Amino acid sequence: MKKNATIDVLITAEALAGRVHELAHTIAHALPPDVMIVSLLRGSFVFTADLIRALHLQGASPQVDFITLSSYGNATTSSGTITIMRDLTEDVRGRDILIVDDILESGRTLTFARNLLQERGAASTHIAVMLEKPGKRKVDITADYVGFSIPDKFVVGYGLDYANYYRELPFIGVVQE
């Protein structure tokens, strides 16, 4: 995989946009209008930016905060220890939280995030992800709101990266090997 690799479109920008509006409709009817969004950086910043504007169109007025989590351990063992690289700014005590991430794969990142917020006294935690890979879960966790279920392929674009490249692509693509 290299920077000038060919990328096959898996989900078009139009399909992503349409799905974001459907998710926002569902979320706005299910969660309180002043829900606090906790966006997991870096991958979820594009989805979060689209989702909050779609939520506005549905009459919601979310607050937004960011946390950067990092998974350490090497790929061969996938030990999956998560650490906080940059913490939230806001106090989550008593708040209804919507955790937003780019993709749910092993589930370790989202499990860590949800446990952290619950330990800090969040009133409720729900999870929205743009993508999920079924059958890849290492921990038992499900997202409340899912954009698309995708095949077990490494994808980039719409905030998702390979070595911090390709986040700017407006579509979800698969890098050709």
In terms of Cβ atoms closer than 10 Å to its own Cβ (0-12, 13-18, 19+), residue 50 is buried
**Residue 26 makes contact with ligand IMP by CB under 6 A:** no
Beta-carbon contacts of 106 under 8 Å, excluding residues fewer than 6 positions away, are 78, 80, 136, 137, 138, 139
Contact pick of 11, 37, 160, 169 for ligand IMP (by CB under 6 A): 160
Task: Kindly list the residues in this chain that would bind Mg ion in the complex (CB under 5 A).
Answer: 43
Interaction pattern, residues 66-105, with ligand IMP; x per rule: CB under 6 A: -----------------------------------xxxxx
CA separation for the pair 105, 143 (Å, rounded): 11
Q: How far apart are CA 134 and CA 125, in angstroms?
A: 21
* Spatial separation of the C-alpha atoms in residues 100 and 45, rounded to whole Å: 9
Binding-residue total with ligand IMP (CB under 6 A):
14
Kindly write out the interface string for residues 120-149 of this chain, putting x where it contacts ligand IMP by CB under 6 A and - elsewhere.
------------------------------
Q: Which of 107, 147, 157, 173 binds ligand IMP (CB under 6 A)?
A: 107
**Cβ nearer to Mg ion, comparing 92 with 109:** 109
